Each structure stands twice: as C-alpha cells, then as structure tokens.
Structure 1
C-alpha cells in the first residue's frame, strides 16, 4: 500500500495521542514471563515484533513434539532473544528462521557466546546466519567474553536467561561499549523482578533468581515511537502542542534523550503525571549544524536526520555503525531517499553528514525497504511538501496505529 500525504498542517493544537508500550521493554519482559509464568504485563506493545515473539512463546509451550520450526519474519529482537531462550529449554529441539532479510542479519556472535556456555546450536544454511537449529540443554558454564561494540541485543539476550542458570552469568565486554542504555534497561527490568545484578567497568554479573518479588509490571510507552511526534512538532508552527502518554521522567529507554536533543529544534517537553506535553516554542538560537553521537540511541537517527532536512539545518551524526545490519542498511537508505528529496548528504560506515537544503522536492516517492522507521521518519515532511510513502503498512512492525494517529492531528491522505 502506497500512501499519498498531501501538504498538511496540525489542525488540533491540543492533540493527545496514546502510544503503545515500549517494544524494547515488552520483548524483554515477554521472555522473562516465559521463564517465570506468574509474571503479569500491563500496557504491553502491540507491535508486530512483540506479537510474533508472544505467538512463538505461546506455541512453544503447547503440548507438542519435541521438534518445532518457528518463523519470526522480520523480528530481529525476537531472533536474538529467542535464540538464547531456546538454548536453555532442555530436551527441546527448535529451528528458528525468518524473512530473506533476516537470513542476511548476523547471529554468529550470540551463537558463539551461547556455545561457550555449553549450548548446542548449528546453522541450517549459511554459516553465521539464520536459520539455526537449537537443541536445548542445561548450560554448565557461567563466564563469557564478547566484543563491546556489538548490538546490545546480543548482550541482553544472554542477560535475560542468566537468572535461570545455576551459577548466574558473568559477561566481560572487550572495548568500547555500544548502546549502554539498552543494557541498563535489561538490568533494571531484571532488578524489578528481584534479580541481583552488577555492572562495573566492562564486567556484568547477573545472579540466579531465587524469589520473584514483583508479579505485575507496567510497560512504559515507546520513546522510539514518540520520536516521530517530536519531529512533527519541530516542523510545525510555533505554539503547536501534542500530548503523549504514558511516559516516565526517569525512563529506562535510551531514546528518552529526545527530550534534550529536540531542544535544538525548539521543542519543549513538559512531564505531566504520566504524560509528556510537546510544545513548539520560538527558538532564536538554532545551531548552524546539529552534531550528535547517537551510539546510545541509534534508532532515532533516521528521525533526527529527516527533522534536520525539513528544518533546513545541517547535521553530523555519529555512532551509527549498528544501522548497517537493521531491517535494511539504514545509512544507505537515508542517503538514497534524502537525495531524491534534494538533500546533499554523505554517509560512512558509522556516520551521516547532511548539508542545509535550499528547498524540498515535492511528490517524491519514498522507498521504505521493509523498514518501519523509514516510513515513519519521513512522514512528518508532509508538513512541508506532499510526499508518497511506499509500502506504508510496514509501520505495524512497531507502531500499528501510526497513520490513524496522524489523521487525528490533521494529516491529509489521498
């Protein structure tokens, strides 16, 4: 489905949008819920990724044969987390596969780490990539070393199963750590259910859980999804206000840095009870160039780059090396699509540099590359020019009601 967005404006300056629970938190908690069945989740994400993970875990727990095949489609988080989960399910044999793109996304670092702990995992097709066969067993080792600059999902996958290991787990990270907030999120959620953890220097320790101390956990709404609303407010008229719920001032999510980052674009954030109020204010001190290191929040890079382009600002974004192995190569995708819109942009393996644009080309058709964040990051440009979003349904991966929510505030579709 291609969606044509005509040039729009915010019609309701006092809009309120309810955003579903964080996909990152939900997927971690779904795995913990599978390990500890009396754990209850509230405000869980309704994203495709979370629905896929929930469905797999439910089907796995049904009485069936000891050998099962699960297709997780495009759900990268599910692939990483379920690999670790199935590795400790004694006596069960599982094959995990996914979409053609998933078969191109590396899994070897996690598989090697699990094997070092005693897991039995093999590759069904290409070495280092899904699909993989996992024979669950009791893991008898408790120490493992990983490169520190890898996707935090590999590390979190190991940490999430650690409370079930007889001796817990000690993870040593070598080098500079990427995406620390996501690791800290995982540890905080473990702490919330009663797991003792420590994170000192480059060593993470997780103890075996003896007693579950919290049976009900409310998932905070997704800051990554909030990023598109920050972009919308940034590209709107002064005085525009949009309220989003439900968010915490002391969030576990790394993307909560949006509060500080979008001050550069004249967006003020006010915390009100469990909501945030975004307000476009007059900002006479806009920087000539936005310079940000996003190694701790790479998922908002696309949103920020498009906001800069729509605002006529230059930017230099670094710390983006993990974007190469997402649903698509997000750096190359950004370069291709922004260039069509009239941008002067260059990318490296871990950075993006954008020059101020004199104008934005109208009626450009944005290819989304089966990537939900490409669709949602570019949509706010409809506040400036008509734009086409190809395969718009891809947003269901993380934010199924995105287009309906845009209509509620005044976006126009043909």
Structure 2
C-alpha cells in the first residue's frame, strides 16, 4: 500500500495522542515474564516486533525434544533475545529463523558468546547468520567477553538470561561501549524484579535469581515513536502542541534525549502530573544555527528522524555514532542518502556518520522507498507539512507503531492510498 501524504487544510494545531508501551522495554519484560511467570505486565507494545516475540514465547511452551521452527519475521530484537532464551531451555530444540533480510543480519558474536558459556547452537545455512539450530541445555559457565561496540541487543540478550544461570554471569566488554542507555535499561528492569547487578567500567555482573516475587510492571510509552511527533511539531507553526502519554522524566529509554536535542529546533517539552508530556513549538529555530551536530551512539534509532527534521527546516546536520545503522532492517545510512537526495539534499554518509548541507531545496511529490523499514516511513512522513509526498509500502509502520497513519489523520494530515 502506497500512501499519498500532505498537510490538510484543517490541520490541527493542538492534539492528544496515546502511544503504547516501549517496544524495547516490552520485549525485555516479555522474556523476563517467561522466565519468572509471576510477573504481570501492563501497557505493553502492540508492535509487530512485540507480537512476534510474544508468539514465539507462547510457541516455546509447545516445543518438545523434536525440533520446532520459530519464525520471528523482521523482528531483530526477538531474534537476539530468543537466541539466548532458547539456549537455556533444557531438553528443547528449535530452529530460529526470520525474513530474508533477517538472514542477512549477523548473529555470530552472540552465538559465539553463548557457545562459550556452554550452549549448543549451530547454523542451518550461512555461517554467522540465521537460521540457527539451538539445543537447549543447562549452562554452568559464568564468564564471557564481547566486543563493546556491538549492538547492545547482543549484550542485553545475555544479561536477560543471566539470573537463570546457576552461577549468574560476569560479562567483560572489550573497547568503547555502544548504546549504554539500552544496557542500563536492561539492568534497571532486572533490578526491578529483584536481581542484583553491578556495572563498573567495562565489567557487568548479574547475580543468580532462581525465583522472583509477584509484581505488576507498567511499560513506559515508546520514545522512538514520540520522535516523529517531535519532528511534526518542529516543522509546524509556532503554537503547535501535541500531548503524548505516558512518559517518565527519569526514563530508561535512551531516545528520551529528544527532549534536549529538539530544543535546537524550537521545541519544548513539559512533563505533566498525569505522566503525559506536552511538546510545543515555542519559537523559530535559532537563526544562527546553520548546522545541528549530535553524537548519537547511545540512541541511533532517532537519527533518521533528526536528519529529516533538519532538512525540512533548511538546517544542515552532522550526526555521528551511527555504525549500528548499517545492520538494521536496511542499511539506514545509505537509504537516507538515497531518499533525501530525491528531494534535492546534498548528503554524504560514512560507516558511522551522516552529513547534510544547509539548503532550502525541497522537491515536491517525491515517492519514498521504505526498504521494509518502519523508521524510514515514519521519519519521512513529517515532510508532508512542507510538500506533498508518497510513502511506499506504508504498512511497514506496524513493526513498531501500528496506529501511526490513523494518528496523523486525527491531527489533520491528508493520507490516502495512491
């Protein structure tokens, strides 16, 4: 489904949007709930990724000694977390697979680490990539090391199963650590259910926790999904306001850095007493600002949104710390370069950076390829406030934000099938 998108004549300047729970928190907690069944969750994400995670965990209860195929489709987080989860399911055997793109996304570093701990995992097709065959067993080793600059999902996958290892886990990270907020999120959620952890320097220790107490855990709404509303407000007139629910001032999510970053673009955030936030366009962005600079190694998922926002405002940008974007749903750096160039952008990328030159070029009626990547669709959507655009394969948003187009329509955007 391709969507034609443009600013509606009756576009609202104020509105409220309910955003469901963080995909990152939800998928961590779903796994912990499977390990500790007396946990109860609320405000979980309704994203495709979380649905894939939940379905795989439900299917795991049916797995016997005969191997079963578990397909997570495009859900990268589920692939990494479930690789660790199934490695400790004694007596169960699964083949974990996904979409054609998933079969191109590396998993060797995580598999090697788990095998170091005593797991039994092998490759079904290409060495280092899914699908993988996992024979669950009791893991007794408790020391492992990983390169520190890998995807934090590899690290979190190990941390999440660590409390169920009889000796816990001592994880050494070699080099400069990437995406620290996501590691800290995992540790904070472990602490919340009663697991003792320490994170000092490049060493993480997680103690064993055979059982946990019954408790209710509420998932905070997703900051990555909020990023598109920050972009919409930034590209709108002064006075535009959107209230989003429900968020914490002391969020565990790295993407909450939006609050500070978008001040550069005239957007202010108010934390309300009911746990909602109101984001508002208070002023035109600083006229002296010709180039926005951000180091995003701790929150790379908002790079696409920031890049498109800067281009829509006629501001240059230089974003760094983006090396993990090369192995996402698509190579997001090359995809951004290709699609922004269609609008007339002068853009260059390296293995870990993105640079857009300041320009007022903005070609209308461009058709945006989404590369089976939900963030490409949603990051580009706010440009419809400036010129009419077409979003190809618009249904990809269901991966993380299924109601995105409906929410845009409620705010006065015109969205119709092309």
TM-score, length of structure 1 as denominator length: 0.98
Q: 1:99 to 1:399 in 2, by over 3 A?
A: same
The corresponding residue for 2:279 is 278
The corresponding residue for 1:393 is 395
CA deviations on 1:318-341 (whole Å, 9 max, x unpaired) are 000000000000000000000001
Within 1, Cα distance between the matches of 2:59 and 2:327?
28
Q: Say which of 346, 360, 363 aligns to 2:362.
A: 360
Q: CA deviation at 1:215?
A: 1.6
SS in 2 for 1:400: coil
Q: CA deviation at 1:271?
A: 0.2
CA deviations on 1:212-253 (whole Å, 9 max, x unpaired) are 245210000000000000000000000000000000000000
The corresponding residue for 1:19 is 19
Q: 1:231 to 1:65 in 2, by over 3 A?
A: same
Does the Cα contact within 8 Å between 2:238 and 2:284 map onto a contact in 1?
Answer: no
Within 2, Cα distance between the matches of 1:214 and 1:310?
48
The corresponding residue for 1:292 is 294
CA deviations on 1:104-152 (whole Å, 9 max, x unpaired) are 0000000000000000000000000000000000011000000000000
Does the Cα contact within 8 Å between 2:64 and 2:92 map onto a contact in 1?
Answer: no
Does the Cα contact within 8 Å between 1:10 and 1:240 map onto a contact in 2?
Answer: no
The corresponding residue for 1:349 is 351
Greater mean alpha carbon deviation, residues 112-121 or residues 351-360: 351-360
Does the Cα contact within 8 Å between 1:96 and 1:133 map onto a contact in 2?
Answer: yes
The yes-or-no answer on 1:326 pairing with 2:328 is yes
Q: CA deviation at 1:67?
A: 1.6
Within 2, Cα distance between the matches of 1:241 and 1:284?
16
Does the Cα contact within 8 Å between 1:255 and 1:297 map onto a contact in 2?
Answer: yes
SS in 2 for 1:285: coil
The corresponding residue for 2:234 is 234
The yes-or-no answer on 1:52 pairing with 2:52 is yes
Matches within 5 A, 1:110-189: 110-189=110-189
Greater mean alpha carbon deviation, residues 2-11 or residues 92-101: 2-11
Matches within 5 A, 1:90-101: 90-101=90-101
TM-score, length of structure 2 as denominator length: 0.97
SS in 1 for 2:326: helix
Return structure 1 stretches of 4+ with deviation > 6 angstroms.
none
Within 2, Cα distance between the matches of 1:9 and 1:344?
31
Greater mean alpha carbon deviation, residues 57-66 or residues 304-313: 57-66
Q: CA deviation at 1:60?
A: 1.2
Does the Cα contact within 8 Å between 1:194 and 1:211 map onto a contact in 2?
Answer: no
Q: CA deviation at 1:356?
A: 1.5
Does the Cα contact within 8 Å between 1:363 and 1:388 map onto a contact in 2?
Answer: yes
Greater mean alpha carbon deviation, residues 361-370 or residues 281-290: 281-290
Q: 1:362 to 1:301 in 2, by over 3 A?
A: same
Q: 1:358 to 1:95 in 2, by over 3 A?
A: same
Structure 1 gap segments, 5+ residues each: none
Q: CA deviation at 1:210?
A: 4.3
The corresponding residue for 2:378 is 376
Within 2, Cα distance between the matches of 1:188 and 1:120?
29
Within 2, Cα distance between the matches of 1:311 and 1:121?
49
Within 1, Cα distance between the matches of 2:371 and 2:63?
38
Q: 1:406 to 1:35 in 2, by over 3 A?
A: same
Q: CA deviation at 1:211?
A: 4.3
Q: CA deviation at 1:6?
A: 2.5
CA deviations on 1:16-55 (whole Å, 9 max, x unpaired) are 0000100000000000011011111100000000001100
Q: 1:151 to 1:284 in 2, by over 3 A?
A: closer
Equivalent pairs counted in the alignment come to 414
SS in 2 for 1:228: helix
The corresponding residue for 1:244 is 244
Matches within 5 A, 1:45-84: 45-62=45-62, 66-84=66-84
Q: 1:63 to 1:141 in 2, by over 3 A?
A: closer
SS in 1 for 2:356: strand
Does the Cα contact within 8 Å between 1:74 and 1:101 map onto a contact in 2?
Answer: yes
Within 2, Cα distance between the matches of 1:355 and 1:303?
16
Greater mean alpha carbon deviation, residues 149-158 or residues 63-72: 63-72
Within 1, Cα distance between the matches of 2:7 and 2:14?
20
Q: CA deviation at 1:59?
A: 1.3
The corresponding residue for 1:36 is 36
SS in 2 for 1:302: helix
Does the Cα contact within 8 Å between 2:53 and 2:72 map onto a contact in 1?
Answer: yes
Q: CA deviation at 1:11?
A: 2.5
Within 2, Cα distance between the matches of 1:251 and 1:110?
27
CA deviations on 1:304-328 (whole Å, 9 max, x unpaired) are 0000000000000000000000000
Within 1, Cα distance between the matches of 2:278 and 2:85?
38
